[in-house]
Chain A
Amino acid sequence: MRRLPVYLLLDTSGSMRGEPIEAVNTGIRVMVSALRQDPHALETVHVSIITFDSDAKVVVPLTALDELQVPVITTPQSGPTHLGLALETLGARIRREIKRSTAEEKGDWAPYLFVMSDGKPSDIQLFEEQCPLIRSIGFASVIGCVAGPKARKEDLQPLCDHVVSLDTMDSAGFTSFFKWVTATISGGNKSMGTTTTVALPPPPPEIQVVF
């Protein structure tokens, strides 16, 4: 059976400390338990979580939903936003983890990538180098979420098919974002319209789809 790989890239730079990171933790927990209650997702979805600050860390390697132990994500006191490095790490993980189709065996579904950040990438040169490489992997969809007052949608646009922005970094905002992520991932077994195939469910009112 084909797996549906879902990669979450989460900003753990210093500015996420406090309420924002708590809200992210809650959001992930809500997302995982909601996906576990979806029999379709439970069979197919595999999740990986990579965090980035001055370093990029694979917190959860690609794991089946029912085996996933949801980690508590923490942030350092302060630190830059090395999103470029995170993308480099992601590329290496994907080469190892994703099963490609062969003539004899079906591979995985095209993966989803969700990137959440509250600021500009600090390693801008590496980020710009990585964007086209990541794009060439062939994701089903790359969705960015810029949170808080400092984040600008333009920062993630070179990477993403869609960027949503959260004005506030509280739990209501993140929860609605992760709910939306959940709906996007489990969209595979919903009815399909006769005119256009809608790839994304409508975002909840707290989220603004910018692109």
Chain B
Amino acid sequence: MTVIKLKTQDGQLVEYTDEIIGQGGMKDVYFSPDRSYVVAFFRDQLDYQGKERLKSIVGMYREGIFEKEGGEYWKDLFCWPTAVVEKDGRLGVVAPVYAKHFFFSHGSVNNDMLGIKGKEKEGKWFASASNRSKFLAPQEKGSWLTHLRICLMISRAVRRLHAAGLAHSDLSYKNVLIDPSTGNACVIDIDGLVVPGKFPPDVVGTPDFIAPEVIATQHLEKSDPNRKLPSTLTDRHALAVLIYMYLFYRHPLRGGKVHDMDATKDEELAMGTKALFVEHPTDAANRVKADQISKAQLPWGDPSKMPYTIAGPLLAELFRKAFVDGLHEPQRRPTADEWENALVRTIDMIQPCSANCEMGWYVFDNSTKPKCPYCGAAYKGKLPVLNLYSSRHSGSYQPDNHRVMVWDGQSLFPWHVSRKVFPNEKLTPDQKKRVGYFQLHQGDWFLVNEGMPQMQDVASKKDIPIGGHVKLTDGSQFLLSHEDGGRLVQVQLVNG
């Protein structure tokens, strides 16, 4: 196989093997001989703006994200092109290869009957109830907790892009790699980034993820002031759809309502001007008709069986903002930052399924008799719930709308101890260390203090030293830190 050598625009040497390993919508992709990076050439000529955009993406925008404090963190979340190359008039980019866990290690059932082992884990495999139930090997499916984590990673990545003033413009399950077995995600196809006012988009997005206002104005000329093109606001729609699909394995707008006898026109209306959330609280016109979906899609395909509210109050509110309030009012869509925040807190509210079913984890439903929404198994044993309060003025503690479910293996981290710490890329290595854990001993739950020097039992005013422990009883209160923003924990005990 011929190896082709090139110089990048900034003078680095790159090599690639002259054999296409993949074709995207606009690019042909080649491996470097040692397969440590890829070179992807655009099939079509880029205009002046397109070239300038690429230069900025590999240059100032990349530096802005990766060469700052916490930059290392983003290497796992973005597959960001590092250089621009040119050959025979064709422009291309150099980009890192995808991490190994984004390729199927088991693939499909029945000894990989589909032959997908080793292929990219395209998100659509996991975002479809029937693909999951009919084809995916159990080792590939992950649990509901890893899916929450995937959504968190995607939200974090999008939040970072938006914070830099960039819009991805084509978020979809093709352009975000996910790995449910480890709960990782990586945003790819960065070269289409949109900079408002500077670099306009050249794609409108991928069906399923295009915002209603973009579909509704697609017939207008690109220069028409009423034409809506991808932006951070449409990214917000695509992000909400991605999260919805990765948590419920169905599309939020694909319901039973028929708008037109012609399939293409119907699709355009259902995703555009007439778009309506299948779980709209008051308008039932687009409900999924249970008799029109296949058995393989159940139970996830039927929202009446697995409503979006199983994701807990924090995410449910954001889904309402995205698909009820903000569906046709882009400004009202939740930001990536809001999703990140709600996901972090929701992950604290999750508990393991007693029957260890396929879903594996579910969000505490705020009831005294919690049960798994997927398999119906009731929670067994004592379930302590920690309600977090934090100090605003000395001596006064206010609820943070943040709860932590206690299960075997659950831990406390610095972001539980202080309202001022938030788990994201800015955490110092010290802040990533566990400061307490929970243990079930002879039928009672205990909290063991590992790293909270100021921990105190509120009722007895006794300090709980590092290495010490305390029993969790209904109504007990602990102060985790005296500092400003320090948390107070109020324990509720649910008996399952």
Contacts and interface: CB of A to CB of B under 8 A. Distances in A.
Interface of A: 1-2, 33, 36-37, 39-40, 42-43, 66, 100-110, 188-195, 202
A101 B201 contact: no
A100 B229 CA distance: 33
Interface of B: 25-26, 43, 114-116, 119, 122, 124-125, 128, 130-131, 134-135, 170, 172, 174-175, 192, 200-208, 210, 222, 229, 254, 256, 258, 260-264, 266, 289, 292-294, 297
Given A100-B261, A106-B292, A191-B25, 8 more contacts: A40-B124, A103-B258, A106-B256, A109-B263, A189-B124, A189-B172, A191-B170, A191-B172
A101 B258 contact: yes
Contacts of A102: 258, 261
A101 B204 contact: no
Given A2-B263, A39-B122, A101-B261, A194 B204 contact: yes
Nearest to B127: A39
Main secondary structure of the interface of B (DSSP, over half): loop
A89 B203 CA distance: 40
B258 A195 contact: no
A189 B229 CA distance: 19
A102 B266 CA distance: 11
25 contacts: A1-B130, A1-B254, A39-B128, A42-B131, A43-B128, A101-B266, A104-B289, A105-B258, A105-B292, A106-B266, A107-B261, A108-B263, A109-B264, A189-B124, A189-B208, A190-B25, A190-B206, A191-B206, A192-B210, A193-B204, A194-B202, A194-B222, A194-B229, A195-B202, A202-B43
A195 B192 CA distance: 15
A192 B292 contact: no
Contact of A106 (B115, B207, B258): B258
Main secondary structure of the interface of A (DSSP, over half): loop
Contact of A110 (B115, B201, B264): B264
Contacts of B122: 39
B258 A104 contact: yes
A101 B262 CA distance: 7
Contact of A105 (B210, B222, B256, B260): B256
A193 B294 CA distance: 33
Contacts of B172: 189, 191
Nearest to A193: B203
A39 B174 contact: no
A194 B203 contact: yes
B266 to A, nearest CB: 7
A37 B293 CA distance: 22
A39 B131 contact: yes
Contacts of A33: 115
B135 A42 contact: yes
Nearest to A202: B43
A189 B207 contact: yes
A195 B218 CA distance: 9
A131 B256 CA distance: 35
A90 to B, nearest CB: 19
B495 to A, nearest CB: 43
B116 A37 contact: yes
Contacts of A110: 263-264
B457 to A, nearest CB: 53
The 6 closest A-B pairs by CB, nearest first: A39-B124, A191-B25, A39-B125, A191-B203, A101-B261, A190-B25
B263 A105 contact: no
Contacts of B125: 39
A84 B293 CA distance: 37
Nearest to B201: A194
Contact of A191 (B114, B116, B174, B258): B174
Contacts of A37: 114-116, 119
A26 to B, nearest CB: 16
A70 to B, nearest CB: 13
B313 to A, nearest CB: 31
B316 to A, nearest CB: 25
Contacts of B25: 190-191
A141 to B, nearest CB: 12
B124 A36 contact: no
A66 B135 contact: yes
Contact of B174 (A66, A104, A107, A189): A189
B147 to A, nearest CB: 16
Contacts of A195: 202, 222
A192 B289 contact: no
A191 B222 CA distance: 17
B131 A192 contact: no
Nearest to B189: A191
B301 to A, nearest CB: 9
B293 A192 contact: no
A109 B264 CA distance: 7
A61 B292 CA distance: 22
A178 to B, nearest CB: 15
Contact of A66 (B119, B134, B205, B222): B134
B214 to A, nearest CB: 9
Contacts of A2: 263
Nearest to A102: B258
Nearest to B26: A191
B289 A36 contact: no
Contacts of B174: 189-191
Contacts of A40: 124
A107 B259 CA distance: 12
Contacts of B264: 109-110
B202 A193 contact: yes
Nearest to A106: B258
A113 to B, nearest CB: 16
A191 B173 CA distance: 11
B332 to A, nearest CB: 25
B317 to A, nearest CB: 29
